[in-house]
DNA sequence: TACAATTTGTCCGTATGTATC
DNA sequence: TGATACATACGGACAAATTGT
């Protein structure tokens, strides 16, 4: 006799796609929901290995294919990682800011193609967060972060690298603020701007001015001059704004 | 003869999980990558219907089960939606801020369980964004938004609803700012705080004071008093901080 | 180097459920 | 009511990957 653990599994309000009433929730969703709630509730510890797909299917009363579809969903949400081989299987993944940033970047990229999210919104968010990030980085004075910021400011700008050096500097400042939420929101924003500015015409003079600004800001941060760092970053972003408007072919 | 479109598909740097070199990327990942790049490149328009699973499998040279696993991945990323029935199938989904907010909420909830993300970080982000949101809401004076904010401020606080009314007000102000990025970052933050504060002891007097603050802020926004709205919100958050510290049993 | 063991990856065939016409 | 065209689900088989002996 196969025990069907899903038969009367109660509704779990957390993190689920909302299902219209009356609509039948497919089995792979129910399996994914159940495993997810076990993971977030801590019943399955980080790094712990799940039973193999065959056993999972048996215990849920579903086929292996159904289990696999559920695992694909959980893997996309960075809740499990599955490996092949003898010591393979599905393992509970530890939360990782980098993957959240990647996902948010993709989502913002999609939203930026709609009227929901304009370039002004991206610029406004930068102007709100980045000066504060510069100030916090200067206040903290974390040696590693300061080193990273200084190094990023030193990189010679190259028109061919798609503003990579430029954005790396800003990402370094955000990381230096010591609040992961700053990077979390703005790094994807930078990525969206970068993808939009690819191959935008930019003169050598403009590039050099930006480079100078960066070194100026980095120097303030390195000397722990919080207020000056904040103001320099604000000025930098304000000066950059018209360039964005000119360079962007959308919005 | 089956055409294998995947054989020499070039690496697409966008949005993929990084694969260790030498590691073989499973077919369902390659199929998902290919479909994803077609979608984000615009080769498949929003709302457009994909071929059915059998045909997709044929065109990619893989089986239907593999196609289904790929579709589950894309569905988790809100890139496609699949429906059953005669006119069912998989459709390219339009980007939707609400689902991004849901996902980010889940991810932040997981991160908040690690030392990566502390309560101070959440509070700092609120203190950075929300006063500005209040100012922008007052500046814009969008009638619908003002109505929503005023209505949210009127709701009588109820100790049993888990601070729901409180957070609804803040969410309304964020939405009123007119920049989706504000809601995008802070609404998940509010959700994390709410889940942590569930059943935290709170006195009727504190509840009333919070309620008063909200009405005060809402009045400023309704009258278009931008600077006062910003300052009132800042004050409200600062006053709230010690309560959070007291109520939170973690961090 | 070869081989065995374990687990995921992939495939096929078939049957069922669901929504529309 | 039935026909149609989808997704959903099952079970079994074999291939491929990885590690240990």
Q: Which of B73, B125, B181 sits opposite A121 (nearest CB)?
A: B181
Q: What is the pLDDT of residues A35-90, one digit of tens each?
A: 999 999 889 999 999 999 999 999 999 999 999 999 999 999 999 999 999 999 99
**Mind spelling out the 3-state secondary structure of B87-153?**
CCEEEECCCCHHHHHHHHHHHHHHHCCCCCCCHHHHHHHHHHHHHHHHHHHHHHCCHHHHHHHHHHH
What percent of chain A has a predicted confidence (pLDDT) above 90?
A: 70
d(CA A182, CA A175): 8
pLDDT of residue B241: 83
pLDDT of residue B18: 56
A240 against B8, higher pLDDT = A240
Chain D positions with a protein C-beta closer than 7 Å? 3-13, 16-20
Q: Do B76 and A76 touch (CB under 8 A)?
A: yes
Footprint of strand C on the protein (CB under 7 A): A 23-24, 50, 52-54, 64-65, 68, 71, 82-90; B 26-28, 57, 61-66, 69, 83-88
Q: What is the pLDDT of residues A166-193, one digit of tens each?
A: 889 999 999 999 999 999 999 999 999 8
d(CA B181, CA A190): 13
pLDDT of residue A205: 82
Model confidence at A17: pLDDT above 80: no
Q: Which of B14, B69, B100 sits opposite A107 (nearest CB)?
A: B100
d(CA B95, CA B80): 10
Instruction: Output the tens digit of pLDDT for each of chain B's 251 residues.
Output: 233 333 333 333 344 555 555 578 999 999 999 999 999 988 999 999 999 999 999 999 999 999 999 999 999 999 999 999 999 999 999 999 999 999 999 999 999 989 999 889 999 999 999 999 999 999 999 999 999 999 999 998 876 776 788 889 999 999 999 999 999 999 999 999 888 877 666 778 888 888 999 999 999 999 999 999 999 999 999 998 877 777 665 43
> Counting every residue, how long is chain B?
251
Mean pLDDT value across chain A? 87
d(CA B224, CA B234): 17
Nearest chain B residue to A114 by CA: give it.
B95
Q: Which of A72, A78, A180 sits opposite B116 (nearest CB)?
A: A180
In Å, how far from its chain's centre is CA B235?
A: 26
With beta carbons under 8 A apart, name residues in chain A contacting B76: 72-73, 76-77
With beta carbons under 8 A apart, name residues in chain B contacting A97: 111, 116-117
Determine the average pLDDT of the residues in A82-103: 95
Name the nucleotide nearest A84; use CA and C1'. C8
Q: Do A97 and B104 touch (CB under 8 A)?
A: no
DSSP, res B161: G
Own/partner pairs for A147-150, CB < 8 Å, 24+ apart? A148/A172, A148/A175, A148/A176, A149/A173, A149/A176, A149/A218, A149/A221, A149/A222, A150/A218, A150/A222
Please report the DSSP string for B214-246 in residue order: HHHHHHHHHTT-HHHHHHHHHHHHHHHHHHHHH
pLDDT of residue B3: 38
Q: Do A179 and B129 touch (CB under 8 A)?
A: no
pLDDT of residue B103: 95
Max Cα–Cα distance, chain A, nearest Å = 77
> Counting every residue, how long is chain A?
251
Model confidence at A19: pLDDT above 80: no
With beta carbons under 8 A apart, name residues in chain A contacting B121: 179-181
Task: Please name which of A104, A204, A93 lies closest in space to residue A157, comparing C-alpha atoms.
Answer: A204
pLDDT category of residue A248 using cuts at 50, 70 and 90: low
Q: How far is A178 from chain B (nearest CA, A)?
A: 9
pLDDT of residue A194: 86
């Amino acid at each position: 006799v196969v025990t069907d653990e899903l038969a009367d599994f109660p509704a779990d309000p957390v993190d689920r796609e909302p299902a219209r009433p009356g609509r039948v929730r497919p089995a792979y969703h129910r399996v994914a929901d159940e495993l997810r709630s076990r993971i977030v509730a801590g019943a399955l510890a980080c790094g712990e290995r799940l039973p193999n797909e065959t056993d999972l299917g048996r215990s849920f009363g579903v086929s292996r294919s159904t289990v696999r579809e559920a695992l694909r969903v959980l893997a996309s949400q960075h809740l499990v990682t599955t490996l092949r081989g003898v010591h393979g299987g599905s393992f509970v993944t530890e939360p990782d800011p980098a993957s959240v940033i990647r996902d948010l970047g993709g989502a913002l990229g999609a939203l930026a193609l709609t009227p929901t999210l304009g370039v002004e919104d991206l610029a406004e968010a930068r102007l709100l967060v980045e000066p504060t990030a510069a100030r916090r980085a200067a206040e903290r004075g974390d040696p590693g972060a300061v080193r990273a910021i200084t190094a990023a400011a030193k990189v010679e700008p190259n028109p061919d690298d798609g503003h990579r050096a430029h954005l790396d500097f800003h990402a370094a400042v955000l990381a230096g603020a010591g609040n992961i939420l700053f990077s979390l929101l703005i790094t994807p924003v930078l990525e969206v701007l970068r993808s939009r500015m690819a191959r935008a015409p930019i003169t050598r003079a403009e590039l050099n001015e930006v480079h100078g600004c960066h070194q100026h800001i980095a120097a303030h941060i390195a000397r722990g001059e919080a207020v000056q760092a904040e103001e320099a970053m604000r000025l930098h972003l304000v000066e950059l704004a018209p360039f964005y408007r000119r360079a962007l072919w959308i919005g």
